[in-house]
Amino acid sequence: MKMTNEEPSDLDWVQLRREMGTVQHGETTGQKFSRKFSENPFVPIGALATAGALSYGLWSFRTGRTRMSQQMMRLRIVAQGFTITALVVGVMMTAGKNFK
């Protein structure tokens, strides 16, 4: 199969990145986290709640507290649902701002 000059090759993005050089975004990782957290604080809170419930649930399972482990796994599902909902609402709000 012959490729014409108009068809991009599989690795055109590598060449493009080399041509562009290093791109400075003017924002550090900490600044970006602060900005994103202020835009939608429920996503990182939900993620921390999910991780906390999972960790405590696994620890409870390991120590033989199966009832607490089951409760923590249920809480983890609720926290994951909360996080997904926060993500979707955040995306919709951002899209609404950009649309106007």
pLDDT in tens, 3-36: 555 666 667 777 777 777 655 668 888 898 898 8
Query: When comparing pLDDT for 36 and 52, which is higher?
Result: 52
Percent residues over pLDDT 70 in the chain: 84
For residues 75-79, give the mean pLDDT. 97
Residues 72 and 57 sit within 8 Å (Cβ to Cβ): yes
Taking the C-alpha atoms of residue 92 and residue 95, their distance in angstroms, rounded to an integer, is 5
Residues 5 and 49 sit within 8 Å (Cβ to Cβ): no
Predicted TM-score (pTM) of this structure: 0.67
Sign of CA dihedral 9, 11, 13, 14: negative
35 Cβ partners below 8 Å, 6+ apart?
27
Q: What angle do CA 20, 23, 29 make, to 5 degrees?
A: 155
Name the average pLDDT for the chain.
Answer: 85
At 93, the pLDDT band (50, 70, 90 cuts) reads: confident
Domain extent listing, the chain: 40-100
